[in-house]
Structure 1
Amino acid sequence: MRTLCASTLIGEFFVIGFAALVAIKEPDISQTTVWIVSGIAMAMSILLCGMITRPGGLALGWALQIGLFLSGFVVPVMFFLGALFGGLWWCGIHFGRKVDEAKQQRAAYEAQLAAESAAESA
């Protein structure tokens, strides 16, 4: 799960940066505001890569997904990109957990085979 979710977050890092470049052109918003908000979101996406498996990591990831979607009120294409990355985030969690479970089952099966092999040779 960690790898899939971290890949999504790294992609979001770049999308947030490019969206900031588009948002700078908005006359109602100062460049300082754009860079502060974008900088916080970009830092959050990088920091979350290491926090995915910790308590609250997935909830913070969902908060970032919601924020990314809501940034569509400033840069309209972000509604689409926010929904896309939200879907990728969900897939990373859902399928990542399945992969983790399959790895655990395989490790248990291999341990069982090793124990049976050791018992037979003893």
Structure 2
Amino acid sequence: MITVTPGMRRLCASVLGMQAIVVGLFTPVAINIQGVEPTLAFTVGLGLALLCVVVIGLLKRPFAYLAGSAIQVLTIASGFMVPAMFFLGVIFAALWITAIFVARRVEGVTSR
């Protein structure tokens, strides 16, 4: 079970907030540069952005961190539509993992 700390919530919310902007901007890139059908691009791009925002609101609950991890996988998978998203998805996944572990370590040290 994940122990949720205030620092972990703040860091993970920051990562998901930045990620929501990037995946939202995925939509026009997918349509104009990659030639993806607009309906599919809107569904994927804005759907992922909305998921990020919803999970930010749920970060007080441990299951939200599993949902955030699933968002990282979906972001990487969006690279099949816009290849740059493979790289950006890996960057966000690394930031997500780092946010969780750094916050745990910092708050573990300060609680002693």
TM-score, L = length of structure 1: 0.78
Residue in structure 2 matched with residue 67 of structure 1 by the alignment: 74
> Alpha-carbon deviation of 1:67?
0.5
Distance, in Å, in 1 between the alignment partners of 2:71 and 2:92 is 10
| Residue 96 (structure 1) aligned with residue 91 (structure 2) | no
1:40 maps to which residue?
A: 47
Q: Kindly state the Cα deviation for residue 17 of structure 1 after the two structures are TM-superposed.
A: 1.4
Partners of 2:44 and 2:78 within 8 A in 1: no
What amino acid is the match of 1:102? V
Share of identical aligned residues, percent? 35
User: 2:21 matched to which residue of 1?
Assistant: 14
Q: What is aligned with 1:119?
A: none
In the TM superposition, residue 47 of structure 1 has moved relative to its aligned partner by: 1.4
Deviations 1:28-81 (A, max 9, x none): x32122112222211111111122231311110010000001111110011110
Partner Cα distance (1:98, 1:52) in 2: 18
The TM-score with structure 2 as length reference comes to: 0.85
Larger Rg computed on CA atoms: 1
* Count of residue pairs the alignment pairs up: 104
1:81 aligns with 2:88: yes
Partner-residue secondary structure (3-state), 1:24: helix
RMSD: 1.3
Does the 8 Å contact 2:72/2:93 carry over to 1?
yes
Name stretches of at least 5 consecutive residues in structure 2 with no aligned partner.
1-7
Gaps of 5+ in 1: 106-122
Deviation at 1:87, TM superposition (A): 0.2
